[in-house]
Amino acid sequence: MKLMAGNSNLPLARDIAAYLDLPLTDASVRRFADEEVFVEIHENVRGEDVFVIQSTSYPANDNLMELLIGIDALRRASAKRITAVLPYFGYARQDRKPGPRTPISAKLVANLITTAGADRVLAVDLHAGQIQGFFDIPTDNLYGAPVMAADILERTGGQNLMVVSPDVGGVVRARALSKRINDAPLSIVDKRRDKPGVSEVMNIIGDVKGWDCILIDDIIDSGGTLCNAAEALMEAGAKSVTAYLTHGVLSGKAVERVTNSALKELVITDSIQPTDATKDSPKIRILPIAPLIGEAIRRIADESSVSSLFD
């Protein structure tokens, strides 16, 4: 088994390598003068089971091309099996047609990864379950809920908690977390989104008065939805609001927005390499996800069960 990393999140790749007690494959990923991506592998990978670790986060297109070209280089170097490990799968939010004459970009990117030569995909908290079906190759979707639940129980003891979904579409994810923290009660924030990146909280389904609320979602981008939800929950009488999200995209002024919000704390994983502003924010804490990904990689290489990780 070999591990190869692109440039999108080298600290996470090194942590995964340390968990597996393996070195990262000696490879260089660089740019020509016109910004073309070039990948060169400096060691033999013929007949090897290779895992390419690359989040397709900002800059999404550059990181996606690194992934595709890296997979192609491995295929042409006769690797036995190539697994694309995507701690964060960019374009996942474009998983359906929101209107006429619009693309389903998540399916396009899935086709690109398959055509490049990947034999398998390992992703973390895909934005929608149906994205697994966009790939015509085996796809494992890891869930961040066990890591989050362990952290919540360690810090709170599981007392006086209510799990809150920031929208109706996230109820399944919220219910899965609530089962892991002593079957905590569930409530939902009902919101209306008039255009991308802008949301308006309408009302809260459930009585949150006096509860320590745990907001759960997969992605925080601009932070508007989450901060509005936290404010609405506090106005409805919540004792405190803590948010747990897998992927901290945190674009634009999101960090500033979170820091000035009603949130007690925002907890994200390191599926996307955090910026200095994210690390410096007093309200943002980062959970390591390398052990979860590393254990899944080990089980795929050993041909053992990945789903039993979540039993």
Is 247 assigned to a binding site?
no
Q: CA–CA distance from 8 to each of 62, 67, 207, 298 (Å)?
A: 9, 9, 42, 22
**Which pairs from 153-158 meet CB under 8 Å and 24+ separation?**
153/181, 153/182, 156/212, 158/182, 158/184
Provide the CB-side half-sphere exposure for 296 (13 A, CA): 27
Is 193 assigned to a binding site?
yes
Q: Of residues 2, 97, 179, 191, which has the active-site annotation?
A: 191
CA dihedral 232, 234, 237, 241 (to 10 degrees): 120
Is 223 assigned to a binding site?
yes
Is 94 assigned to a binding site?
yes
Identify the DSSP state of 226: H
Identify the DSSP state of 275: P
Is 34 assigned to a binding site?
yes
- Is the dihedral angle over the CA atoms 293, 298, 302, 307 positive or is it negative? negative
Is 222 assigned to a binding site?
yes
CA distance 238 to 295: 37
209: annotated active-site residue: no
Is 256 assigned to a binding site?
no
Report the DSSP pairing between strands 198-205 and 37-41.
unpaired
Q: What 3-state class would DSSP assign to 3?
A: strand
CB 127, CB 92: distance < 8 Å:
yes
Is 217 assigned to a binding site?
yes
Identify the DSSP state of 54: -
Amino acid letter, residue 235: E
Q: In 268-296, which positions are buried (b, 16+ CB within 10 angstroms) versus exposed (e)?
A: bbbbbbbeeebeebebbeebebbebbbbb
CA distance 295 to 298: 5
Is 224 assigned to a binding site?
yes
Q: Which residues are catalytic?
A: 191
| Binding site listing for Mg(2+) | 127, 167
Which residues are part of a known binding site for ATP? 34-36, 93-94
Indicate the annotated binding residues. Answer: 34-36, 93-94, 127, 167, 193, 217, 221-225
Annotated binding site for D-ribose 5-phosphate: 193, 217, 221-225
